[in-house]
Amino acid sequence: MPLLETSGLCITIGNTRVCDALDFSIAAGDRCCILGRNGTGKTTLLHTLAGLRPAQAGDIKLHDQSLQQLPRRSIARHIGLLFQDHNDAFPANVIETVLSGRHPWMGPLQWESEQDVAMARAALRAVDLDDMEQRIVTTLSGGERRRLGIACLLTQDPQLQLLDEPTNHLDIHHQISMLELLQQQARQDHKAQLFVMHDINLASRYCNRFLLLFGNGETAQGSASEVLTHPHLERLYQHPLQAVAGPHGTLWLPE
């Protein structure tokens, strides 16, 4: 059974039609990537699926219940969102920030348990930030802050992870290590993951399904062999591409 499912979903932002009558579902074990040019509404779609903005029409169901009818705490226990950028309004340190991922699981005025702290520290080790617990987050580099955001998501432990450009600000080593970490978690813990990414080659390496947004309301979805093709990708990006055989499958290079 799908964790999240849309039927007849219509989303518009400004003059851009993100999708028209989109029927889409994601289940445990799926690693799906949304691809499209700048301004086609990838982030808007992700935020709509997280329940942060309304759709113009259609329905979104989480575990077969309408997302609009569920309380925010319940949604946050099942859906986690890694935002494209982070604005740190308060000078919290790293361990305090990553522990915020446990808030959906805590009651009013409840303090974090030893198990919560252990989960947070395990997440910091996983993203190679375990020696920075007391650092103030505003002193971190962009890449370190990105990895902290991923650690918060791991600490939250939702069944569905929505990740908006998770490789932002990361060097090549950390791009691969973070995507490997997320892939491992999806396989071991049977998570569902929905990414927004700009790198077609990283997307095809780490995802098994794809949703293309063409910017006029039209979409295409399927496996790599079904939608990562010359006609689809050159229309999607409005630029000629060359397919080259690589060690992890086809690589797409701009001409």
Spatial CB neighbours of 236, under 8 Å, sequence gap ≥ 6: 35, 36, 37, 212, 214
Which residue from 93, 94, 49, 90 is spatially nearest to 194, judged by alpha carbons? 49
- Cα separation of the two ends of the chain: 42
Angle value at C-alpha 97, between 92 and 99, nearest 5 degrees:
135
Give the separation between CA 33 and CA 25, rounded to whole angstroms: 12
User: CB-hemisphere CA count at 13 Å for 107?
Assistant: 1
pTM for this model (two decimals): 0.95
Q: Over its length of 255 residues, how does the chain's per-residue pLDDT go in tens digits?
A: 899 999 999 999 999 999 999 999 999 999 999 999 999 999 999 999 999 999 999 999 999 999 999 999 999 999 999 999 887 767 899 999 999 999 999 988 788 899 999 999 999 999 999 999 999 999 999 999 999 999 999 999 999 999 999 999 999 999 999 999 999 999 999 999 999 999 999 999 999 999 999 999 999 999 999 999 999 999 999 999 999 999 988 999 999
Task: Report yes or no: 154 and 189 within 8 Å, Cβ to Cβ.
Answer: no
Q: Where are the domains of the chain?
A: 4-254
Please report, for the chain, how many H helices and E strands are present, in that order: 9, 12
Per DSSP, helices labelled H in the chain are 42-49, 72-78, 94-99, 114-126, 142-156, 172-189, 200-206, 224-227, 230-237
Task: Report yes or no: 145 and 169 within 8 Å, Cβ to Cβ.
Answer: yes
Which numeric CATH code is attached to 4-254? 3.40.50.300
